[in-house]
Amino acid sequence: MSILSGKNILLGITAGIAAYKTASLVRLFIKAGANVKVVMTPASKDFITPLTLSTLSKNPVYSTFTNEEDDNAMWNNHVELGLWADFFVIAPATANTMSKMANGTCDNLLLATYLSAKCPVYFAPAMDLDMYKHDSTKHSFEKLKSFGNVMIPATSGELASGLVGEGRMAEPEDIIAFVEKDILGKLPLRGKKILITAGPTYEAIDPVRFIGNHSSGKMGFEIAKAAANLGAEVILVSGPSSQHVNQSMITVERVKSAQDMYDEVHKHFNTCDIAILSAAVADYRPKNVATQKIKKKESTFTIELEKTKDILKSLGAIKKQQFLVGFALETNNELEHAKGKLAAKNLDLIVLNSLNDKGAGFGGSTNKVTFITASHDIFAHELKSKTEVAQDLMQQILKQTHA
Ligand code: CTP
């Protein structure tokens, strides 16, 4: 799956003949799973129609601050458009537009959006060879790069003028490949391996019954997605859960019991850089598992339980370079208990959730957590979606590991 999947791409089109290729570019972004909106300079509409682009992108196309033909026209908010974008790709970028971008000129919607956008900006120049070589154009390239914008260099070939040389806009496939590679290369957890546990464990009583708990696995799956989005290779060891994920960077290993989870986790721990254990592992399991279904006889029935292995503690005992994160679900004396677990299990960070907080803990889609570091720094967070909690956790880990 492409790193662009689920991302918001704002495509800026300026008035060069290469604009005709942006129909393919929009298609390829959509095929990669991105959401696409298009902002055009008014003059670029001579080269490709907004209708084509809105049909392909499945979104309205913006080129003016208001729609002049409509008396009730709404203002096209360039700030919102800029904030919506995860990435702004300007292709083709003409000498004229680049010069304006370099100098802060703001005489159309595309330029106003450029000045408001906070996201990474890519520009793919396209022009005739002498224009491309001109000192003024080179000056624009350098200035834009100094702003942190990323240039997708033009290639050599036959140009619209009939001349042959440098100035052809990179082909749509190459633009996509360039952007994907650039994004991946800049992700802070690129090259790191992260081990995550999620969900409950089921401890068999007999062939049809088990002891389990209400953990849904949501929190662990969200952490896996947040880590993969930062470029990490993720091994997600999950107990029985209805959660699914389809991301090339995430390998899901499904297990049932605490012992299965212990074995699977230990297969991967040596080679991982970070381990985050969010699973709700059973602390006890039936000492003897009946091989046949247990028949009801007496009015009471007792199952003898024995302790399971504490997976997190076992990792704390053998960890070397790994950054180890645990969870603590508490009902009373929360901070004290969490700090106790942090020390007892030799952790670098513990995520505390209290069952006294409404919206925290099992099942739901929200959580309210407090991070406690090994040096007892405490970061309390508001009630948030589990997606946001996972992102906060990854940011906390990045901060502590200086990744
Ligand atoms: N954990 C684990 N293996 C176990 C039990 C717990 O890896 N057999 C991990 C959990 O994934 C979690 C952390 O340990 O990251 C804390 O789990 P929790 O149940 O809150 O704490 P316990 O140490 O089991 O203590 P208690 O149940 O007494 O509060």
Give me the pLDDT at residue 68, please: 64
From 213, 288, 333, 367, the catalytic residue: 213
> From the CA of 329, how far away is ligand 1's center (Å)?
8
> From the CA of 360, how far away is ligand 1's center (Å)?
17
Average pLDDT over residues 29-54: 97
Take atom 4 of ligand 1 and give the residue whose Cα is closest.
310
Least confident span in 37-41, 148-152, 361-365: 361-365
Q: What is the largest CA-CA distance in the chain?
A: 95
Q: Are 281 and 308 in contact (CB under 8 A)?
A: yes
Take atom 16 of ligand 1 and give the residue whose Cα is closest.
328
Q: Is 356 part of the annotated catalytic residue set?
A: no
> From the CA of 299, how far away is ligand 1's center (Å)?
33
Ligand 1: nearest atom to the Cα of 344:
23
Give the mean pLDDT of the chain.
94
360 versus 373: which is more confidently predicted? 373
Q: 379 phi and psi, to 5 degrees? A: -125, 105
Q: Please count the other Cβ atoms lying within 10 Å of the Cβ belonging to residue 317.
A: 10
362 pLDDT more than 90: no
Take atom 23 of ligand 1 and give the residue whose Cα is closest.
341
Tokens 């682009």 belong to which residue?
A: 53
Ligand 1: nearest atom to the Cα of 325:
15
Give me the pLDDT at residue 361, please: 67
Give me the pLDDT at residue 105, please: 97
Average pLDDT over residues 187-199: 96
pTM score, two decimals?
A: 0.81
Average pLDDT over residues 66-71: 66
Give me the pLDDT at residue 359, please: 74
Give me the pLDDT at residue 73, please: 65
**pLDDT tens figures, 215-257:** 999 999 999 999 999 999 999 999 999 999 988 899 999 999 9
In the chain, which residues fall in CATH 3.40.50.1950?
8-186
Q: What is the fold, at CATH topology level, of the domain defined by 8-186?
A: Rossmann fold (3.40.50)
Take atom 12 of ligand 1 and give the residue whose Cα is closest.
327
How many residues would you count in the chain? 403
Ligand 1: nearest atom to the Cα of 315:
7
Q: Kindly list the distances between the CA atom of residue 34 and the CA atoms of 87, 275, 282, in Å, as whole numbers in the listed order.
A: 10, 30, 40
Pocket test for ligand 1, best of 283, 309, 350 (most atoms within 8 A of CB): 283
Q: Are 140 and 103 in contact (CB under 8 A)?
A: no
Host H or E run for residue 111? helix 109-116
> From the CA of 280, how far away is ligand 1's center (Å)?
7
Pocket test for ligand 1, best of 219, 260, 277 (most atoms within 8 A of CB): 277
**pLDDT tens figures, 261-305:** 999 999 999 999 999 999 999 999 999 999 999 999 989 999 999
Take atom 8 of ligand 1 and give the residue whose Cα is closest.
310
Q: Are 197 and 267 in contact (CB under 8 A)?
A: no
Q: Tell me the CB-side half-sphere exposure of residue 153, using CA atoms within 13 A.
A: 7
Q: What is the fold, at CATH topology level, of the domain defined by 193-401?
A: Rossmann fold (3.40.50)
394 pLDDT more than 90: yes
357 pLDDT more than 80: no
Average pLDDT over residues 178-199: 96
Take atom 17 of ligand 1 and give the residue whose Cα is closest.
328
What proportion of the chain, given as a percentage, has pLDDT over 70?
97
Ligand 1: nearest atom to the Cα of 308:
8
**pLDDT tens figures, 165-178:** 999 999 999 999 99
Q: In the structure, what pLDDT confidence band is assigned to residue 1 with cuts at 50, 70 and 90?
A: confident
Which tokens hold the place of 232? Answer: 């990490």
Ligand 1: nearest atom to the Cα of 327:
15
Q: Of 44, 36, 135, whose CA–CA distance to 86 is shortest? A: 36
Gap between the Cα atoms of 39 and 37, Å rounded:
7
> From the CA of 282, how far away is ligand 1's center (Å)?
8
Q: Kindly list the distances between the CA atom of residue 119 and the CA atoms of 6, 98, 185, 328, 388, in Å, as whole numbers in the listed order.
A: 15, 17, 16, 36, 19
Q: In the structure, what pLDDT confidence band is assigned to residue 71 with cuts at 50, 70 and 90?
A: low
Q: In the structure, what pLDDT confidence band is assigned to residue 34 with cuts at 50, 70 and 90?
A: very high
Q: Which of the given ranges, 63-77, 301-315, 355-369, has the highest pLDDT on average?
A: 301-315
Ligand 1: nearest atom to the Cα of 282:
8
> From the CA of 326, how far away is ligand 1's center (Å)?
8
Give me the pLDDT at residue 403, please: 65
Strand partners, 182: none
Residues touching ligand 1 (Cβ under 6 Å) are 197, 258, 277, 279, 281, 283, 308, 310-312, 326-329, 341
Least confident span in 86-95, 138-147, 151-160, 316-325: 151-160
Give me the pLDDT at residue 72, please: 63
Average pLDDT over residues 392-400: 97
> From the CA of 277, how far away is ligand 1's center (Å)?
9
In the chain, which residues fall in CATH 3.40.50.10300?
193-401
Give me the pLDDT at residue 70, please: 60
DSSP state of 200: B
